[in-house]
Structure 1
Amino acid sequence: MIPEGWRESTLADSADIVCGFPFKSSDFRDSGSHRLLRGDNVGQGVAKWDGVKWMDPSTREAMYSLRPHDVVLAMDRPWVGAGLKCAVVQESDTPSLLVQRVARLRAKGEVDQRFLGYAVNNATFAEYVVSVQTGTSIPHISSRQIGEHRLLMPPLDRQRAVAAVLGALDDKIAANTKLASTAEDLARTLASAVPVTVPLGEIVEHIKTTVNPDGLADDRVAHFSLPAFDAGIEPEVVGPQEIKSNKFLVGEPSVLVSKLNPRFPRVWNIPTISPLTSLASTEFVTLRPRFSSTTLLWALTSQPAFGSALEAMVAGTSGSHQRVKPAEMLSTLVPDPRVMSDVLVGQIDALGLRAISSRDESRTLAATRDALLPQLMSGKLRVKDAERAVSEVA
């Protein structure tokens, strides 16, 4: 039953759907005035700018400029293990340009733009995309299929009220994300003041214990995978039968350093161990600090200079799966934590843990948002009740 005052609509009726421009790859640059938003840059809810390309657009190409609150959807492989590749453009994502095989949705008529983002970034739309995508090697969705998705549209005043309630949570999540990033940047800066003098292998224990998930009696395990890192630096909680190969056992606080494609640094600080059995992808090198906290070890191994050294080790290797050998990683020089002052160590530890705390709070906020979203979008939950729930966590 449709709530009073609501109406059935399609995305085509509610939004202008535009596909990106086929920019020439020969015009791509490593710097410029505008970032290029390609399918690889569309994450779950937010844009990702690892490996971004740039260009300086002409007047004609500037028509594809993105604005804050635009909704973007990857049309090739729209669904991956981490979820739907659909994001809402933030102020910090601009200036940027929409590239082919990515769709942009911009509200029209009696539709609020921020509400449109919530109407698309939800489980119902994700299920629709999975059901209609075509192709086997590269699943894709067309602009026509996007436009045919049906949804319930409340009156404009309720749209704005729903967007305000959910937006309060997303604004807090964005603030936490910025705080975490700032804290991590400062921790790395403090650690960089200490000269690199010792091989990494001298200050860590390299953990190589592997486990066959099929042999575990656990119902659920914490899986530290590369997609989980990219999706929000949070392990996936899955049944062990869903994991198809041996993994490293993470039995104590550790730091995971990716050996795959070091041009995209992935360093995972695990200061505490989950009650669940914790398993790490074999694409990580699992390190246990000998003379410091995991947070300080994270700060040392997430230094740009350390990442550049790893990248140099695979220079000239072709392909998209360049790997650093663990022995070479362990021979790379880093600052020696044994010569660092207690004050400096305390500052770095506090900053790193503050970043983790901010991300943990954001996960709680996101869980609240995701629980409220379907209830609000269906009209089953009053906005006032949602506001009360938000006030308890935000």
Structure 2
Amino acid sequence: MSETKTTVFRDLLAATKDGDWGKGESRQGHVPAYVIRGTDFAEVRRGCIAGVPIRYLAEKTVHRRLLRADDILIETAGGSRDRPTGRTVLISQEILDAFPGDVTCASFARFLRVDPVAASPRYVYWYLQYLYARGDMWTHQVQHTGVARFQFTRFAGTEEVPLPVRAEQDAIAAVLGALDDKIAVNERIATTADSMCDLIFQSRAQQHASVPMSRLLHPILGGTPDRKNESYWGGSVPWASAKDVVNATVGVLASTEEHITETATQNSRAKTLRPGSVVLTARGTVGAVARMVMPAAINQSCYAFEPGRMPAAVLFHMVRSAAKSMLGMAHGTVFSTVNMKTFDHVEIPNLPADVLNTLNGELASLHQLIVSHLQESRQLATLRDTLLPQLMSGRLRVKDAEKIAEEAT
């Protein structure tokens, strides 16, 4: 970067304040507001706000925490063994406009309002993304109890932010933001197509009688290869956990955190399932459903259903529809679970062969549209994440990055 100066992070802020979780029910002296949690960051970044809860905050103080366009939310508690606190999300005007009411953040986060005279708020957001991707946030995390916390005061007082000239700040933010915007558009198209599929399926399904799920589908329980056997791990076979299924975008399982070897599939219950198989989470977060677009194995927290007489596209919506009924009869008290007996009690429509084939043709074309848009989004995300450190370190000129991004979008 040319003509770069550095500024301590806290000197870039016009305001910052912790969030508020508020109350779960309406009461006197409290007003409703949408409260963004750390767990909502990824969805909100994509423009999906359906999961953001409404809470009730004290009327006297809520105005201090209401979000404005270009505010940045930073996660200050949470994290995990593999993921530090310090994730961020930019609150654009488009995101605010999507909410029908006031918006704030939860108590395990805080908002950062960058002084636009001191720096470009969007550039600062991307710099925070850069720090997180580089692993710098680990140095500001502390864990005295079960909850990991981000030491924001320490971070704000010690982190020095490189600031190129304002035009370059804006250009860097524009390049990276354009890629993010295209990713969000792709995923909104995919979500709309997915909703259309559900409507098409329901309109056909309600015309036919239902039978127990176990009469039409064969559940396959997954497994975990021996962790002590190194020859079972790090291979080429994707191995899906409930977490992978829950995190699948628009119900499309295209990647997994862990992989196993062919040897592991031959010597454990983690058998390779063919593309088009549908996975249902049975423990922990019960009832999440995703369809595989590649061969993969699953662990014992999931059941799978392979396409056969019931073709793949119909199978996905059949299992997803059944999952909604399944949640009402899941067994267990602390962690609800689904077991083999559950499939004897959940009913699904018994569609004739001609209806299955016709319906599958309608759904499959939309499924392919969904997959193609999500595949492009993954490619754009990889490009964005590659450009980010290059731009922030000055190793790549903005003009070159602009050309690369323009060709990609």
TM superposition score normalised by structure 2: 0.81
The answer for the alignment partner of 1:86 in structure 2 is 88
1:194-273 correspondence to structure 2 within 5 Å: 194-195=205-206, 197-208=210-221, 210=223, 212=225, 214=229, 215-216=231-232, 219-233=235-249, 234-238=254-258, 240=260, 248-253=270-275, 254-260=277-283, 265-273=287-295
The answer for the alignment partner of 2:55 in structure 1 is 55
Partner secondary structure for residue 191 of structure 1: helix
Structure 2 residue ranges without an equivalent (≥5)? none
Partner secondary structure for residue 337 of structure 2: coil
Q: Is the 8 A contact 1:260 1:323 kept in 2?
A: yes
Equivalenced residue count is 377
Letter in 2 for 1:210: G
The answer for the alignment partner of 2:303 in structure 1 is 285
The answer for the alignment partner of 1:128 in structure 2 is 136
Letter in 2 for 1:132: H
1:107 aligns with 2:98: no
Deviation digits for residues 175-233 of structure 1 (CA, Å, limit 9, x no counterpart): 01100110111101111111261322233232235351534275454232333344454
What RMSD over aligned residues (CA atoms) do the two structures have, in Å?
3.1
Identity %: 20
Letter in 2 for 1:225: S
Partner secondary structure for residue 22 of structure 2: coil
The answer for the alignment partner of 1:314 in structure 2 is 330
Letter in 1 for 2:45: V
Alpha-carbon distance change, 300 to 157 in structure 1, aligned in 2, over 3 angstroms: same
Letter in 2 for 1:199: P
Deviation digits for residues 154-187 of structure 1 (CA, Å, limit 9, x no counterpart): 2211111111111111111000110011011110
Alpha-carbon distance change, 250 to 35 in structure 1, aligned in 2, over 3 angstroms: farther
Q: Is the 8 A contact 1:270 1:294 kept in 2?
A: no
Letter in 2 for 1:100: S
The answer for the alignment partner of 2:347 in structure 1 is 333
Q: Is the 8 A contact 2:24 2:55 kept in 1?
A: no
Q: 1:367 aligned to 382, 389, 392, which one? A: 382
The answer for the alignment partner of 2:164 in structure 1 is 154
Deviation digits for residues 10-36 of structure 1 (CA, Å, limit 9, x no counterpart): 3212233321125234559xxx95322
Q: Is the 8 A contact 2:25 2:55 kept in 1?
A: no
1:332-351 correspondence to structure 2 within 5 Å: 332-338=346-352, 340=355, 342-351=357-366
Partner secondary structure for residue 205 of structure 1: coil
CA apart distance, 1:44: 8.1
The answer for the alignment partner of 1:139 in structure 2 is 148
CA distance in 1, matches of 2:43, 2:51: 17
Letter in 2 for 1:384: K
Alpha-carbon distance change, 318 to 88 in structure 1, aligned in 2, over 3 angstroms: farther
Structure 1 residue ranges without an equivalent (≥5)? none
CA distance in 1, matches of 2:8, 2:351: 59
The answer for the alignment partner of 2:194 in structure 1 is 184
Alpha-carbon distance change, 111 to 230 in structure 1, aligned in 2, over 3 angstroms: farther
CA apart distance, 1:60: 2.9
TM superposition score normalised by structure 1: 0.84
1:164 aligns with 2:174: yes
1:357 aligns with 2:358: no
Q: Which deviates the most, 95-104 or 201-210?
A: 201-210
Q: Is the 8 A contact 1:204 1:289 kept in 2?
A: no
Alpha-carbon distance change, 9 to 134 in structure 1, aligned in 2, over 3 angstroms: same
Alpha-carbon distance change, 65 to 14 in structure 1, aligned in 2, over 3 angstroms: same
